[in-house]
Each structure stands twice: as C-alpha cells, then as structure tokens.
C-alpha cells in the first residue's frame, strides 16, 4: 500500500497496558453444576429412548466438558444420546465442515463416546403465524427427544427480548443451511420475532424436555448453567439474556480514533467481532452506540474460524497474514445464508501493523494525527487486559474501573 507522505511522518503513539476491571463471579465446578442441572430431567426421560443433543459452533468455555457431561448423565439414566451439529450454514454449510468445527472444540465420536449425526437434511415441520416455513434437522427429528446445549447472550445484529441462545439454536442452528437461509431472508430486525416464533413451532412439534443454557461472564468463564424445561424456554430465555447482558465486558472509553483488533473469528462472535463491543456493524456505526470508533484494524483470523472471515466487512484495514487465511467459499456461504454479504467484504490490506496504523490515523476524520486515541484489544471476548495510547491514561483515574499494568 502506498501511503501519503503525511502518513509516513506521523509520530505513532506510545502504547500502555491497562486492566479494565470487571466482576469475575463464575462456577468453580462446571461439570458438577451441569450434572446437577440435568439429573432431574434425565430421571424423567424414558429409558431406552434416543436423544439428539444439539451442539453449536460458538467458542464456549468448557463446551467439550459440558456436552460430555450431558451425554454421560443421559446414558446413566438409560437414554441413548447422539450429537447433532446445530450451526445453520457454518462450516461451509456441509456436514463435513460442521463435524470439523465440533472436532476443533474436542467434540467427536471418540471423545464423547456416542455417534455424531451431521446430515444437512431438513424437514419442513410447520410455519409461523406469518407463514414462514420452519425447517428442522431430519437427524434430530428421528430422535425421541431434542436437547439444545447453548450459550445465551446478546445477538450481534438485532435487539429483542430473545436474541442469541436457545431459540436461535433451535430455529437457525437446528434449521441447518436451509432453515438458516430461509429465516435470514426476513432481515435482521425481523429476527427479533421470527426466531422465537419459529422456535415455538419446533417446541410444539418436537419433544424438548429441556435445554441447557450457559451464561458466561466478562472473562469468558462459565457464570451460570441452567436446565430450562422445554415449555418454559420462551419465558425464561429473556431473563437469562438480561443476566448475560449485565455480565458483558466492554471498552470503557466513549471515543476512540483507531481500534486494533488482534483477531476475529466465528469462535469469538457470530459476526467475527461483536458489534455490541465495537459500536459498529456491517452497515457502519450503530446510532447512539459507544464506543464511537473512527477506524478499525484487524490483525488476524482465529484458527477456530476455519477460514470464515465474516466480520472483515466491519473493519477498514486488515493485515495480509489475516487475508491469506480466508476461505472465500466458506465466508461467502455464511454471508449469503445469513443475509449479510456486507460482512464478507474485504477491507484495505496492509502488510504490517505499523502500515495499517499509519493509514488508519491518516484517514480518521477530525483526528489530531500526532495525538490520536488508539486502543488495542486481543478480540471482543477478552477485554480485561488491553493497550491504550498514553494520552488516554488521564481517562483511567478511577481505580474501581482501571488498573495500570506495569
């Protein structure tokens, strides 16, 4: 990239490590908590029956341990579980790709001790009150019971009482590529009612004895695991979402000239990096959101992204090594199925962080190019230890919010 001469003379800021302070309440024994949550429901399930345990594509802490504990608890009760990937169009919309994602989380037939049925076939099992066809995994439909295992958290692209969690796993994850594509055709704002409406159809048609809901804290640690009865999902999930929202980390600065993001990926957020954190989505800055960020640089793509670069479209610059990890087929499949091709756009490619930073400062409107406010984070999940330009230290005087890392 050929930079303007003015950019090459910018004095880059000195960066300082700080700690943003968040509450760190979490479960000490996740396995025991899962077992205790599942046991009462497993005891009421009919011995000898089959159960499809739905597992998704998010990077949930201890997900292999959680799924294995669910499986073992069901087996001990005489139920015959198998695992179904429930991740919509992820993994390139193929059974092989979705199995590969599960394997990267430590979930395989060998580690779980039960079969994985990853077929992408679906059945249309009904329609919402608005006439939208509802698809659901044919493999899961063949089980006597369906048990979603998922994290509840704010969605990256819309707001509502129910966002990303149990209902989304049932409607979009369990809908596979067919269902994911159909529901996303309604547009992101409509998903606030389309997802719970579709999940309601599934719950009426399929026996969901319970869903295991996971809520994580600001440190990506397991704060809550709760077995929610199938008939109580639509009532309980909004309450769990409120809890999850209260525990989210954030960037504790209102105005940032340049944000450097160390890595993005589907294992970090459904959109690669979380718009709730950066105040920006694929269409640009979110009105009224903070932080207000002028330019964003992405440095890398996580291994767990498996080449899916959804989220690049929210950035202004990326490093070449990140671009070289992109699988365009997987990225475009996800972008098309989710109705978000904007998220798959490729930003300006820089060779080094310095080159990208100079370009970002030069093009950040109404910025003092010799005194820019720069923040660097690992990703939008890990916001405890971050770096800031030294001119932002004056904003870190509250010792209940910040600590300088020496």
Q: Which of 281-285, 355-359, 397-401 has the lowest mean pLDDT?
A: 281-285
The tally of CA atoms less than 13 A away on the side-chain side of residue 60 is 28
The CB density around residue 176, as the number of other CB atoms within 10 Å, is 30
- Whether 378 shows a pLDDT value over 80: the answer reads yes
Mean pLDDT over 121-149 rounds to 97
- Whether 406 shows a pLDDT value over 80: the answer reads no
Q: What does the pLDDT read at residue 252?
A: 97
What pLDDT digit, counting tens, does each position of 15-52 carry?
999 999 999 999 999 999 999 999 999 999 999 999 99
Cα(107)–Cα(100) distance, integer angstroms:
9
Q: Counting every residue, how long is the chain?
A: 406
Q: What does the pLDDT read at residue 92?
A: 85
Q: What does the pLDDT read at residue 209?
A: 98
Bridge partners for 153 per DSSP: 164
Fold topology of 30-247: Rossmann fold (3.40.50)
Residue 91: pLDDT band (50, 70, 90) is: confident
Q: What does the pLDDT read at residue 3?
A: 85
- Whether 7 shows a pLDDT value over 90: the answer reads no
- Whether 57 shows a pLDDT value over 80: the answer reads no
pTM, 2 dp: 0.84
What pLDDT digit, counting tens, does each position of 305-348 carry?
999 999 999 999 999 999 999 999 999 999 998 888 999 999 99
Question: Per-domain residue ranges for the chain?
Answer: 5-22+250-404, 30-247
Give the CA-trace dihedral at 104, 105, 107, 108, to 10 degrees: 10
Mean pLDDT over 372-392 rounds to 97
The helix (H) or strand (E) run that includes residue 256 is: strand 255-261
Percent of the chain with pLDDT over 70: 100
**Mean pLDDT value across the chain:** 95
- Whether 114 shows a pLDDT value over 90: the answer reads yes
* The residue to which tokens 């369990």 are assigned: 174
- Identify which of 223, 56, 215 has the alpha carbon closest to the alpha carbon of residue 140: 56
Q: What does the pLDDT read at residue 82?
A: 98
- Identify which of 51, 371, 367, 322 has the alpha carbon closest to the alpha carbon of residue 208: 51
Residue 66: pLDDT band (50, 70, 90) is: very high
């Amino acid at each position: 990239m050929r930079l303007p001469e003015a950019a090459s003379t910018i004095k880059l800021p000195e960066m300082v490590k700080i700690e943003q302070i968040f509450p760190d309440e979490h479960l000490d024994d996740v396995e025991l908590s899962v077992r205790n949550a599942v046991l009462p429901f497993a005891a009421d399930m009919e011995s000898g029956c089959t159960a499809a345990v739905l597992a998704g594509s998010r990077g949930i802490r201890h997900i292999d341990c959680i799924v294995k504990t669910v499986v073992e608890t069901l087996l001990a009760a005489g139920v015959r579980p198998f695992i179904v990937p429930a991740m919509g169009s992820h993994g390139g919309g193929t059974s092989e790709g979705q199995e590969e994602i599960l394997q990267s989380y430590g979930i395989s037939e060998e580690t779980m001790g039960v079969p994985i049925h990853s077929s992408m076939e679906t059945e249309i099992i009904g329609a919402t009150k608005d006439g939208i066809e509802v698809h659901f995994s044919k493999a899961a439909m063949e089980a006597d019971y369906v048990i979603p295992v998922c994290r509840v958290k704010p969605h990256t692209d819309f707001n509502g009482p129910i966002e990303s969690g149990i209902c989304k796993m049932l409607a979009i994850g369990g809908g596979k590529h067919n269902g994911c594509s159909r529901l996303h055709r309604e547009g992101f704002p409509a998903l606030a009612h389309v997802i719970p409406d579709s999940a309601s159809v599934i719950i009426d048609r399929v026996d969901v004895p319970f869903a295991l809901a996971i809520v994580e804290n600001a440190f990506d640690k397991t704060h809550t695991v709760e077995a929610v009865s199938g008939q109580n999902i639509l009532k309980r999930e909004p309450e769990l979402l409120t809890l999850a929202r209260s525990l989210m980390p954030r960037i504790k600065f209102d105005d940032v000239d340049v944000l450097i993001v160390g890595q993005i990926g589907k294992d970090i957020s459904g959109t690669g990096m979380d718009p709730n954190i950066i105040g920006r989505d694929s269409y640009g800055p979110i009105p009224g959101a903070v932080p207000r960020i002028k330019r964003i640089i992405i440095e890398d793509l996580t291994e767990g992204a498996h080449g899916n670069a959804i989220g690049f479209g929210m950035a202004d610059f990326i490093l070449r090594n990140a671009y070289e990890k992109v699988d365009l087929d997987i990225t475009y499949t996800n972008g098309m199925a989710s109705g978000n091709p904007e998220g798959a756009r490729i930003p300006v490619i820089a060779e080094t962080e310095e080159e990208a930073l100079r370009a970002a400062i030069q093009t950040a409107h109404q910025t003092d190019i010799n005194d820019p406010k720069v923040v660097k984070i690992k990703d939008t999940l890990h916001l405890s230890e971050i770096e800031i330009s030294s001119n932002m230290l004056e904003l870190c005087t509250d010792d209940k919010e910040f600590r300088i890392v020496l």
